Amino acid sequence: MAGKLITVEGGEGAGKTTQLAFMRDYLERAGHRVVLTREPGGTALGEEIRALLLGHRHDGMAPATETLLIFAARAEHLERIIRPALAAGHWVLCDRFTDATYAYQGGGRGLPPERIAVLENWVQSDLRPDLTLLFDLPVAVGLARAGRRGAADRFEREEWAFFERVRAAYRERAGRNPDRYRIVAADRPVAAVRAEVETLLAAWLERV
Ligand code: Z5A
């Protein structure tokens, strides 16, 4: 595949969405066609699954159900959006991807990572992100930002320890995959985060 898959990860209120538009513009200025998308979601079916996952109609959903719904949305997303875009040589910029499943369903909910790996291998085959930016910040800072935004979704109502496990799982994965991950210190003003993102992208672009 000629295109590249770049994913952006982090806990609640990390500032991913805020920086994604800048990242798209930056990559387009570097001469790439960019498809900006998100998970769960990115397709009509995926957005319906997202509404089931984030809404409160199914509070207490079993972790296995949650994980299978996420991978169902991911399968559709890969088939309809991500693989065609990469095959056409476009760069895909995705707000969350499978690292989020390892962090939230694995770290947060306690699902064994081996189970997630089975689904990852089945649904994605050998497709993995080329680059992942992890927006890392203390849980308290992220939750305060998310709280200012309005009503909490099903994940945002979780207990504090859940978000600490999510953060730990992300950091552990980043530590084990230093070639793919770049950690962004997200607990700083928007302009400072943006400057770091630009530096990281510029350095990475020189290598690919
Ligand atoms: N999920 C999962 O469990 N498993 C999976 O495999 C996948 C997802 C793929 C998606 O919801 C949920 O799905 C997610 C995990 C789960 N959990 N939750 N909730 P989402 O997309 O709605 O949630 P999110 O990805 O966490 O988005 P977010 O909370 O909006 O975070 P964000 O995109 O990183 O932040 P933001 O929208 O850019 O900024 C949040 C607020 O902070 C906003 O008011 C900004 O103006 C402000 N902000 C942003 N940057 C800054 C800085 N630098 N300083 C101060 N204030 C800032």
Report whether residue 78 contacts ligand 1, using a CB cutoff of 6 Å: no
Contacts (Cβ under 8 Å, ≥6 apart) of 160? 139, 143
Report whether residue 99 contacts ligand 1, using a CB cutoff of 6 Å: no
CA distance 144 to 121: 36
At 42-68, the pLDDT tens digits run 999 999 999 999 999 999 999 999 999
- The domain that contains 41 carries what CATH number? 3.40.50.300
Cα–Cα separations (whole angstroms), residue 2 to 14, 36, 133, 159: 30, 17, 20, 42
For ligand 1, mutation pick of 5, 7, 8, 12 (most atoms within 8 Å of CB): 12
In 3-state terms the chain splits into helix, strand, coil percentages (rounded to 5) of 55, 15, 30
Q: What is the pLDDT of residue 78?
A: 98
Angle formed by the axes of helices 16-29 and 190-207, to 10°?
Answer: 40
For the chain, what is the domain count? 1
Report whether residue 190 contacts ligand 1, using a CB cutoff of 6 Å: yes
Nearest CA to ligand 1 atom 48: 15
At 92-136, the pLDDT tens digits run 999 999 999 999 999 999 999 999 999 999 999 999 999 999 999
Report whether residue 194 contacts ligand 1, using a CB cutoff of 6 Å: no
Report whether residue 156 contacts ligand 1, using a CB cutoff of 6 Å: yes
- Examine the pLDDT at 1 and tell me if it is beyond 80: no
At 62-99, the pLDDT tens digits run 999 999 999 999 999 999 999 999 999 999 999 999 99
What range defines the domain where residue 88 resides?
5-205
At 122-180, the pLDDT tens digits run 999 999 999 999 999 999 999 999 988 888 899 988 999 999 999 999 999 999 999 99
How many angstroms is it from 134 CA to the middle of ligand 1? 12
Report whether residue 22 contacts ligand 1, using a CB cutoff of 6 Å: no
